[in-house]
Homo-oligomer: A and B are copies of this chain.
Amino acid sequence: MKSGTLYLIPSPLIEDLTTSIDPALIEIIHSLRVFVVEKSKTARQYIKSTIPPYTQQEITVVELNKHGVTEELDEVFKRLKKSESVGLISEAGCPGVADPGADIVAHAHNLGIPVRPLIGPSSILLALMASGMNGQKFCFHGYLPQDRTALAKELQRLEMESIKFKQTQIWIETPYRNNQMKEVCLASLKQNTRFCIAADLTATDEKIFSGRVGDWTKDKMGELHKIPAVFLLQA
């Protein structure tokens, strides 16, 4: 028997679900009845916003688990093996990229289940495009240290790596610490290093500023508290 396909389904970066979604993506969402998701509530809202041909009661939605493949997930993989296709959805963006889901994809590969990634928003990729920095070589580091001294030290290491490998360095921060991150960056990076913050990407009030540290002023970008943001540097 031919197994089903594990579709990797990106979701909107912003809460406004009236945002445009690729019709090809909607068609696939509508063809599926089983979903593995990061959060059941928001995934169901997202699916509902596409006006599916099924009711919420007619679909199976299983939450991802930090502890790997649970009994419930094992059941999903059995259905995949029995030729039923499944959608993997994470919160705001692409499953498995700065988001959970990679374990499920790896497990599918181990079982020989075909995996198909679908086109959609990634704040990291959009930020890189928008930064004007080197997109031929780049590195995403996830979260940097919280402690100010350790953070300043790590930023200086990233600056050196950026020079050595001509790499753009990319990272994120928990949104309620964004202002502090900006402050430590402007205080510890070299004046000539290019620094970019891309906030609230794809939203109508998206804010992007990219320039040398020396050209930044403290009020540039304004308030970043609790606004999802991506940080980039190129030295």
The chain A residues found within 8 Å of chain B, CB to CB, are 8, 19-24, 94-99, 101-110, 114-117, 119-122, 124-142, 167, 194, 201-202, 206, 208-211
Contact = CB atoms under 8 A, between A and B. Distances in A.
B119 A132 contact: no
A134 B116 CA distance: 17
| Interface SS, A side | mixed
29 contacts: A8-B129, A19-B24, A20-B24, A21-B22, A94-B129, A96-B135, A97-B125, A97-B129, A98-B136, A102-B134, A102-B135, A103-B132, A104-B132, A105-B132, A106-B210, A107-B132, A109-B209, A110-B211, A115-B130, A115-B210, A116-B130, A117-B126, A117-B201, A119-B119, A119-B126, A119-B202, A122-B122, A136-B142, A139-B139
A16 to B, nearest CB: 12
B119 A210 contact: no
A120 B129 CA distance: 11
A103 B202 CA distance: 22
Tell me how many chains of this kind the complex includes.
2
Nearest to A130: B117
A96 B99 CA distance: 23
B97 A130 contact: no
Contacts of A126: 117, 119
Contacts of A130: 8, 105, 115-117
Contacts of A119: 119-121, 126, 202
A223 to B, nearest CB: 19
B133 A106 contact: yes
A126 B116 CA distance: 9
A101 B131 CA distance: 11
A22, A102, A129 — which one has the most chain B CB atoms within 10 A of its CB? A129
Nearest to A26: B20
Contacts of A210: 105-106, 109, 115
B23 A115 contact: no
A109 B211 CA distance: 7
